[in-house]
Amino acid sequence: MKRELRYGIIGAGSMGREHIENIKVMGGGAVTAISDPHVPSQEAAIAMAPGAKVFSDHRGLLESGLVDAVIVATPNDTHVQVLKDALATDLAVFIEKPLATTVEDLKSILDWDEKRSAMTWMGLEYRFMPPVAEAIARAKEGNAGKIHQVSIREHREPFYPKVDNWNRFAERTGGTLVEKCCHYFNLMDIVAGEHPIRVFASGGQSVNHLDEKYDGKQANMLDNAYVVLEYANGVRGMLDLCMFGEGSFDKEILTIVGDEGKIESFLPSQVLRESRRETIGKLSGWKTGATRSPGSEQKIVHNYDVKYMGHHYGASYIEHTKFRDAILNSTPAEVSLKDGVTSVVTGLAAHKSINEGRVVEIKELWG
């Protein structure tokens, strides 16, 4: 067992630097190499990890012998090529969401990963946000009874600027419902206990980036959508996304509803609410619609072990500690590439539904 892990960062943009900050404060590791072809990103990253060696090509970093684990945080459409090289090594690999942007690339990545013995970890940190994690745990414990519905609402600000404006185009990101929302589809799957079988979605680009063109190309990222998922076990999921709704206090709300109660988490307030339902009055064996709540609970859920809150309410820090410990203890990844595959396929199916104006069966994309 190594006392300190050596990390390589492939992709030193905003998310790559977020990973560097988490590794610095976590303990048990150090960033020893950084790879990025963009000089300003290199400079910003090296200011955070001054002892690291800088590479302009990820292959140089992978071949350097300077690292035990790599964090891949490059633009979405580059993941497949970086992973082709990274998964051919015996290094531990952490890949940021989304795993890839096409079904063909997802299949290739799974094939490469099956040939290796080293650990590969899928970066889907939303499940580690403290109030979200507790809401899901309570649902799994049966606090809401049999689960029938899970919904997620995100009303937030538009996409931030990125290097070369790569996140303004669906062909580079996989589309908004892949780039932004794969996290949420993954959470719905965890609550439902399985993967969806069909998707129906409605969405558009109504407000954001309408006057933005780059190299003559119009920015084409959707800024609002409703997505409904159906699961074979009868659970339904719904996403309500608005990326011009930054006036909201709680930008992200997870709601889980069962036949016995309701569990909700709210961010950034970090509030968790749970209530139980009690039906009053019956008529010929049928329950009436009149109900009252016999009691409810509300509390702040905060993990005081988190040393760096970052941009994800401490979730990235928690995820990094789990990734580090899995490497040191030779245990499997808690979040697998299969989680990444399903979340991307759902997003791609949602875009297909919007484009074609119909219900899309998941088996059309992923048999």
Compute the distance between CA of residue 50 and CA of residue 350 in angstroms, rounded to an integer: 43
pLDDT at residue 354 greater than cutoff 60: yes
> Which burial class, exposed, middle or buried, applies to 232 when counting CB atoms under 10 A from its CB (0-12, 13-18, 19+)?
exposed
User: Quick one: 48 and 149 in the same domain?
Assistant: no
pLDDT (0 to 100) of residue 288: 44
User: Quick one: 101 and 135 in the same domain?
Assistant: no
pLDDT at residue 343 greater than cutoff 50: yes
User: Quick one: 172 and 231 in the same domain?
Assistant: yes
Give the domain CATH number at 191: 3.30.360.10
SS3 340: helix
Peptide bond between residue 268 and the one before it cis (omega within 30 degrees of 0): yes
User: Quick one: 36 and 175 in the same domain?
Assistant: no
pLDDT (0 to 100) of residue 280: 47
User: Quick one: 176 and 291 in the same domain?
Assistant: yes
pLDDT (0 to 100) of residue 2: 54
Quote the number of domains for the chain.
2
Q: Which H helix or E strand runs over 11?
A: none
User: Quick one: 80 and 175 in the same domain?
Assistant: no
Query: Mean of the per-residue pLDDT values for the chain?
Result: 94
Give the domain CATH number at 40: 3.40.50.720
User: Quick one: 118 and 132 in the same domain?
Assistant: no
pLDDT (0 to 100) of residue 287: 46
> What's the whole-number mean pLDDT along residues 171-192?
98
Q: Are 316 and 18 in contact (CB under 8 A)?
A: yes
User: Quick one: 217 and 165 in the same domain?
Assistant: yes
The model carries a pTM of 0.93
Tell me what percent of the residues of the chain surpass a pLDDT of 90: 90
Q: How far is CA 249 from CA 173, 220, 328, in A?
A: 27, 27, 40
pLDDT tens, residue by residue, 238-274: 999 999 999 899 999 999 999 999 999 999 999 999 9
Beta bridge partners of 219: none
User: Quick one: 201 and 297 in the same domain?
Assistant: yes
Question: Tell me, what amino acid is at 198?
Answer: R
pLDDT at residue 181 greater than cutoff 90: yes
> What's the whole-number mean pLDDT along residues 98-108?
98
Q: Which of 210-214, 224-228, 279-283 has the lowest mean pLDDT?
A: 279-283
pLDDT at residue 224 greater than cutoff 50: yes
Nearest Cα residue to 351 out of 231, 189, 222, 168: 222
- pLDDT confidence tier of residue 289, bands split at 50, 70 and 90: very low
User: Quick one: 186 and 324 in the same domain?
Assistant: no
pLDDT at residue 346 greater than cutoff 80: yes
User: Quick one: 134 and 281 in the same domain?
Assistant: yes
pLDDT at residue 187 greater than cutoff 50: yes
Provide the residue range defining the domain that includes 114.
5-125+313-336
SS3 85: helix
pLDDT at residue 285 greater than cutoff 60: no
User: Quick one: 272 and 318 in the same domain?
Assistant: no
Beta bridge partners of 240: 153, 226
pLDDT at residue 72 greater than cutoff 90: yes
pLDDT (0 to 100) of residue 219: 97
